[in-house]
Structure 1
């Protein structure tokens, strides 16, 4: 129990109605017009990037500690190239042919901003039991599409204006609808289009894993965990929607939502999926699971701090977004529990204010800092990182893979976005 704080294959025909028969428009920041030739060039460029990475380094195992950052950067580049190639191909074949290539434009730009944490963890899981593999690396791209699905629909649910430093997909779709003077509500169109684009990502994610080139028995070992991950993500999102700050849920409930929605989905399940495909034994799987639970929860705790104090220019999200949405996150709930009577009254006033302006958000931040809640959450993060290291020791995972997993724990918890 967590202690309480002490003071101190489906076709995308369903989306064809969106923009069929309407002129195609490029919504990318460079405003370049995409044509069929451009789409083909995108596919070729993605393939060239992937081949260049393969020629330079291939899907290698992690090097020594001093070179881990370069290894992560190269892996991210290779994964995004594989995903871009996969998506561009389907955009040209399916979306473009149906007159909805604007959706592909938005998706390709969206994918380009991903950090590829989940695919990196999945590939490290694979390397715990098998040698570097082009097919396994391609399989990890599935998680980037699954993550795109989650973010696209999460932004609709939260009515978020931005993501990754750009207008959220539903905002871009609404602007597209408005610029073409189409009938109906642009806002409603934008949200519907973003949900459908998310659905496509969910479909394509499974296709990318199924068609990655691994043997059937390897994939068969992955599916139960892949299915569990998707279910946990959806159930966690349900719980998150119902977790209203004004109800002041207990800290254990907040952390349980974090484990279901983010922790398992970000770290634990990707590791387990990769390791299961590689045929790792029960000891390794258990160790990765324990490590993944600890690092995944620490990842979400860091996210909760950034949701209040993160800089929009770095996070790509609105300043104080979790406060504006009245989210019951760990740092906010901890601050209320740590506050004295006078501070709690101020908390309740802010929680129940109909409209929070910038000054009110800043007052709330100052109040949170005064309680020591941030330091308390930082301690929880440190404890979970320490637990993750112990899990690796118990599992016998060492060498370059162990070093890479220790490095990834830091990447997840010492970040500004």
Structure 2
């Protein structure tokens, strides 16, 4: 993607600055962040940014659009690095997570003290650096953009929502919550808004889009973003690590509150399935492999997995309908529908009713 070239250019500049400050931190910290950002990812947020820009008329300098896309990829790097620390995840994008990589460096260098506190703290700093770079790039871009104030307003909201969602995710896991409304709120704040709705709005901001267009894009983005998070929840329980690039049992082993889990708990209670209810109940310790298998079986047997799949399809369809209301050209509408399908793994129909 064109955004990769902008990212490479920007990261080269920041690495040069880091080297001038300190060679060790530049090599071990800044270099790792730059490598992680450039290692890949689906670039979904940049793609949705582009869709919002096209839907609103594709006005202004395309270079500005790409710089905002690069900022989104950097804030995504921050979110992933910090999320992996909080979840204790060993793998991301088919490679060791940031804290796991720092732990390996600690071992290889025969450093003194415990490797875990060092690796955790170093990874937190790495995520902070990615966020600082993202903020710098967005601010520099907004200062030279005719619609910079609105652009920065959307960006500020994106960051606040992302942090709130992440905290609520941690809190729900600590409380052993099974509430469906809480699970949906976390999914919306933690992922749906900053994955689709805010990128669409950021793109439209660059053209000075009107209220009608922005409202339609926000409605489309919220539904597509929620469908994306529900798909991620399903993959978190049933996905193939060789495809997803991360373990498939972390959410279940730690009983992370997802809509999939919350729905299964309710369905088990309504049907009187005591075995499923027991498998899905909170525990004070991490679950064993056998217990994770029982949880997967309960998610299937209660009908929760099938219900979530249906909800993903419904939300995907609604997102396309709302995007059409933005007045976007039919070519852009088709591209958005294709992107939603790619993001959520299902082809959206066009005849669903909004609930």
Q: Do the aligned residues in 2 keep the contact of 1:246 with 1:352 (CA within 8 Å)?
A: no
The correspondence for 1:247, drawn from 147, 168, 176, is 176
Contact 1:173–1:194, Cα closer than 8 Å, also in 2: yes
Match of 1:183 in 2: 112
Q: Who wins on radius of gyration, i.e. which is larger?
A: 1
Structure 1 residue 305, shift from structure 2 partner: 0.3
Shift of 1:108: 2.9
Which residue does 1:94 correspond to in 2?
18
CA contact (8 A) 2:142 2:152 kept: no
Give the secondary-structure state (helix, strand or coil) at the position aligned to 2:206: helix
- Larger mean CA deviation between 206-215 and 399-408 belongs to 206-215
1:79 aligns with 2:6: no
Shift of 1:345: 4.2
Partner SS, residue 216 of structure 1? coil
Q: Which residue of 2 aligns with 1:365?
A: 296
Contact 1:392/1:398 (8 A) holds in 2: no
From 116, 132, 137, give the equivalent of 2:43. 116
> Partner residue of 2:351?
none
Contact 1:161 1:171 in 2 (8 A): yes
User: Hey, what's the Cα distance between the residues in 1 that align with 2:64 and 2:153?
Assistant: 20
Seen in structure 2, the aligned counterparts of structure 1 residues 213 and 239 have a Cα distance that, compared at 3 Å, is: closer
The alpha-carbon deviation at position 395 of structure 1 amounts to: 2.3
Deviations 1:120-149 (A, max 9, x none): 111221222224712322221100000001
Residues in 2 aligned to 1:96 and 1:188: alpha-carbon distance in whole angstroms: 28
SS at structure 1 position matched to 2:209: coil
Structure 1-normalised TM-score?
0.77
Separation of aligned partners in 1, 2:149 and 2:229 = 30
1:336 touches 1:347 (CA, 8 Å); kept in 2? Answer: no
Distance change (3 Å), C-alpha of 1:201 and 1:411: same
What is the CA–CA distance in structure 1 between the aligned matches of 2:187 and 2:154, rounded to whole Å?
18
Structure 1 segments unaligned to the other structure (5+ residues): 1-76
CA contact (8 A) 2:46 2:73 kept: yes
Residue 301 (str. 1) matches residue 194 (str. 2): no
**Residue correspondences, number:** 338
1:90 and 1:288 map into 2 onto residues whose CA distance is: 33
The yes-or-no answer on 1:383 pairing with 2:314 is yes
CA–CA distance in structure 2, aligned partners of residues 266 and 168 of structure 1: 21
State the alpha-carbon separation in 2 of the partners of residues 114 and 217 from structure 1.
30
Query: Which residue number corresponds to residue 128 of structure 2?
Result: 199
